[in-house]
A and B are shown apart, each in its own frame.
Chain A
Amino acid sequence: EVQLVESGGGLVQPGRSLRLSCEVSGFTFENFAMHWVRQVPGKGLEWVSCISWNSKVIGYADSVKGRFTISRDNAKNFLYLQMDSLRADDSALYYCAKAKGTGWSYGMDVWGQGTTVTVSS
């Protein structure tokens, strides 16, 4: 069974850091690009970041660029999101998602259940 399981969320003070992890199973992780997407409860989906299968191509939304770092460990089947200088508006449910097919064109076909990040003093 294809599965993505996020972890690492929690309550953190503004300005502090948090690292999210996404453990994948059921497919050949090293063959697929991956994404992080977040959703504030009651609000829309916001694409956050993506990483190619070989980590050579990485992208960030303007809202997190310079503060968040995406990475992956293909040997361990893990995707990560290092979140630094956190702000209140980073509070959201964070999903990891698998890119469908090769490349980026076909959207995200497998999603985790998400991990909640709350930034508050």
Chain B
Amino acid sequence: DIQMTQSPSSLSASVGDRVTITCRASESITFHLSWYQVKAGKAPKLLISVASTLESGVPSRFSGSGSGTDFTLTISSLQPEDFATYYCQQTYSSPRFTFGPGTRVDVK
């Protein structure tokens, strides 16, 4: 099975900061990676699919990059509504799709 790791597990940041979250797969998943945002009491929200394609309606301050085993989610200028937990998910190993453990972004 493909294992997913994320770093850091949590981070503290201020509004306006540039935030970078890393996701690593235990083997190559080419570009088959999605990013989700989860806020307390809300359903997960798909932000990015196939490593770098921004979902419709997602602000352009979010971006994704990477391929193979190493991927990055970047928030260029953190906004108050961005404090949340972020998860990566591999969509390569059909039909078994694993999430990373999550990265919590909270207020510094």
Q: Is B71 an interface residue (CB 8 A)?
A: no
CB pair A44–B99 under 8 Å, yes or no, is yes
Q: Is A104 an interface residue (CB 8 A)?
A: yes
CB pair B49–A107 under 8 Å, yes or no, is yes
- At the interface with chain A, which of B11-19, B75-83, B86-94? B86-94
CB pair A59–B95 under 8 Å, yes or no, is yes
Of the four ranges (under 10, 10 to 19, 20 to 34, 35 or more), the interface on chain A belongs to 20 to 34
> Which residues of chain B are within 8 angstroms of A113 by Cβ–Cβ distance?
43
CB pair B95–A104 under 8 Å, yes or no, is yes
Of the four ranges (under 10, 10 to 19, 20 to 34, 35 or more), the interface on chain B belongs to 20 to 34
CB pair A95–B44 under 8 Å, yes or no, is yes
> Which residues of chain A are within 8 angstroms of B1 by Cβ–Cβ distance?
62
Besides A61-B96, A106-B53, 13 new A-B residue pairs in contact (Cβ under 8 A), listed by A number? A44-B85, A44-B101, A44-B102, A47-B97, A52-B95, A57-B94, A60-B96, A62-B1, A105-B50, A106-B91, A107-B49, A111-B43, A114-B43
6 closest A-B pairs by CB: A59-B95, A107-B34, A111-B43, A106-B49, A44-B102, A107-B49
